[in-house]
Amino acid sequence: MSFDLVVKGGKIVLPEKTFIADIGIKDGKIVSIKKEIKSNGAQALDAKGLLVMPGALDVHVHLQLPFCGTVSCDDFENGTKAAACGGVTTVVDFAIQKKGDSLAKAVEDRKKEADGKVAVDYSLHGGITDWNEKTRQEMNDLVKDGITSFKMFMIYRSQGWMADDGILFQGLEETAKNGAIITVHAESAYVLDLLIERYHTKEMMEKYGAYLHTLTRPCVTEYEAVRRAATWAKVTGGRLYIVHMSTSEAAQVVKEAKADGVRIWAETCPQYLLLTDDVFKNKETGHLYGTCPQIKKKHDQVGLWEGLKKGYVDVVATDTCTFNTQQKAMWQGDFTKIPFGMPGVETMVPTIYTSGVASGRIKPSRFVELVATNPAKIFGLYPQKGTIRVGSDADIMLFDTTKKVTLSYKNLQTNCDWSPFEGMKLKGYPAVTISRGKIVAKDGKFVGSVGHGRFVKRKPWGKV
Ligand code: URP
Ligand code: ZN
Ligand code: ZN
């Protein structure tokens, strides 16, 4: 058998088993996994002493997103280079429909922006902002074309993105028939808007600054919306995925709903697992952390980690939406004008490995499940991606658990001039990232080629 690349002697970590073996790769696919493979002249990569894991999937990124009066500053090219540097071999971005316009066109336009630019594979969630009979039909057609998830926002009324309960209900009804999944941004729009208006005064802004972001988005606003969405999923038999879940209370709702047979899955993000809303108290830097939903409390961190460990929180993804300090400065002291979002795709793997595995909270096998296998399963990419087996894409991350790194934005590929995790002492770092058989990053530096990434079609009825 001939190979293009052989990964030799690493410890392969999968949810179901951990074992030492060689991996033979040909034409972008894994073609052999054996105790010993002779490279027969092919490039051999020594992985002894390293963990060999499936490349991570970050199923929640917003690259070059026009949002909050600016455009997120990691574009498809640099954002996917950053992904590669961080051990991420697939990203899923969003094609958000314009009001009065077609959902299919939004997908087509977004593909044009990404194709030829991406350095690792990508897919898109359809973003539904204008529900009508045509959109419903387009949704069904897109499922056949490999787009099997659709985002609905329960907030962003003023941007014209909000889906009300009737729309969410109908979207979920559709998924019970077509096997797609509704991914939902769950917060209570009307209460949020009321609180924002109430606190949006000169006196309050002088007194609390960016901390008003916390005061206007209490945990109950997420809890209430997740409960409501879960209720609609239950009665419709629809398939629901909660994105960027930030509270312990919401995690409990998901736990109960799963026990009740509801087809519900949930994602959380590093910012909710590693930071608390104390960050907003810093007068100089608090506004940088403005994201939506905002960062919550210590007890939320504890509850979310518990969910990841016990199995009712299914995925870690990042909600990457990079705004640099210049863009963030647009807030000028007004919390309603902060561009919402932060960098993250490049740092998900090492930060979650450090705080999850190295700290003893979760096992390496669970880590693989959370960042690779579960997102691949839920979003219809398994076993093409999210695992290491013969026939799968050769998307592989070699991870060095002995590497100690102090995280600094200065060493990252992202276009961002700050990091929410600046100074974090990392216990382990991706050593090599392989995307469809090509080495695309080494020791955190991009060595791949722009345009190597492809759009990947997904299947419906994904689940874990
Ligand atoms: O603040 C964030 N997360 N920006 C991106 C849009 C969203 O709500 O996911
Ligand atoms: Zn959101
Ligand atoms: Zn998002």
Summarize pLDDT for 109-152 with one digit per residue, the tens.
999 999 999 999 999 999 999 999 999 999 999 999 999 999 99
Q: How far apart are CA 201 and CA 66, in angstroms?
A: 27
Write out the H or E segment, with its range, that includes residue 84: helix 76-85
Report the SS3 class of residue 224.
helix
Run of H or E residues at 223: helix 219-236
Using a 6 Å cutoff on CB, does residue 436 contact ligand 1?
no
pLDDT for position 160: 92
pLDDT recorded at residue 171: 98
154: which 2 tokens? 């329960």
pLDDT at residue 347, rounded to an integer: 99
> What's the rounded mean pLDDT across residues 374-381?
99
pLDDT digits (tens, 9 = 90+) for 420-456: 999 999 999 999 999 999 999 999 999 999 999 999 9
Report the alpha-carbon distance of residue 346 to residue 397 in Å, rounded. Answer: 13
pTM higher than 0.75, yes or no? Answer: yes
pLDDT in tens, 253-284: 999 999 999 999 999 999 999 999 999 999 99
Across the range 276-304, mean pLDDT stands at 98
Ligand 2 center–CA 375 separation, angstroms: 17
Residues in contact with 359: Cβ distance below 8 Å, sequence separation at least 6, in sequence order: none
**Predicted pLDDT at 127:** 98
Question: In which region does residue 61 sit, left (phi positive, over 0), alpha (psi from -120 to 50) or beta (all else)?
Answer: beta
Query: Within a 10 A sphere around the Cβ of 406, how many other Cβ atoms?
Result: 10
Task: Please tell me if the CB atom of residue 223 comes closer than 6 angstroms to any atom of ligand 1.
Answer: no
> What mean pLDDT do residues 324-330 have?
98
The kind and range of the H/E element at 434 are: strand 425-435
The alpha carbon of 156 and the centre of ligand 1 are apart by a number of angstroms equal to: 10
Residue 368 to residue 8: CA distance in whole angstroms: 20
Ligand 1 binding pocket includes 341 (Cβ within 6 Å): yes
Largest Cα separation within the chain, whole Å, is 73
Which ligand sits closest to the CA of 317?
Answer: 3
Q: Could you tell me the two tokens for 272?
A: 């909710």
Give the mean pLDDT of 451-463: 98
Say if ligand 1 is within 6 A of residue 292 CB.
yes
Task: Calculate mean pLDDT across residues 19-33.
Answer: 98
pLDDT of amino acid 22: 98
376/121 Cα distance (integer angstroms): 13
User: Measured from the CB, is residue 346 less than 6 Å from ligand 1?
Assistant: no
Centroid of ligand 2 to alpha carbon of 293 (angstroms): 7
**From the CB of 340, is ligand 1 less than 6 Å away?**
yes
CA of 430 to the centre of ligand 1 (A): 26
**What pLDDT score does 121 carry?**
99
Residue 5: the pLDDT is 98
Q: Is 438 in the pocket of ligand 1 (CB under 6 A)?
A: no
Tokens of 157: 């009324």
Taking the CA of residue 185 as reference, the ligand 1 atom at the shortest distance is: 8
Counted residue by residue, the chain has a size of 464
* Chain segment 171-190, per-residue pLDDT in tens: 999 999 999 999 999 999 99
Task: Return the ligand number nearest the Cα of 93.
Answer: 3
Ligand 1, atom 4, lies closest to the CA of 341
Q: How large is the average pLDDT for residues 361-378? A: 99
Question: Rounded mean pLDDT of 307-324?
Answer: 98
Are residues 336 and 201 in contact, defined by beta-carbon separation less than 8 angstroms? no
Q: Which residue is closest in CA terms to ligand 1's atom 7?
A: 292
pLDDT in tens, 216-259: 999 999 999 999 999 999 999 999 999 999 999 999 999 999 99
| Phi, psi angles (nearest 5°) of residue 211 | -65, -15
C-alpha 211/C-alpha 282 separation (Å) is 9
Å from CA of 37 to ligand 1 middle? 45
Structure tokens, 454: 């492809």
Query: Which atom of ligand 1 is least distant from the CA of 290?
Result: 1
pLDDT the model gives residue 221: 98
Q: Name which of 304, 301, 185 is nearest 255 in CA terms.
A: 304
Separation of alpha carbons 132 and 139, rounded Å: 11
Query: From the alpha carbon of 153, which atom of ligand 1 is closest?
Result: 8
Per-residue pLDDT, averaged over 53-79, amounts to 98
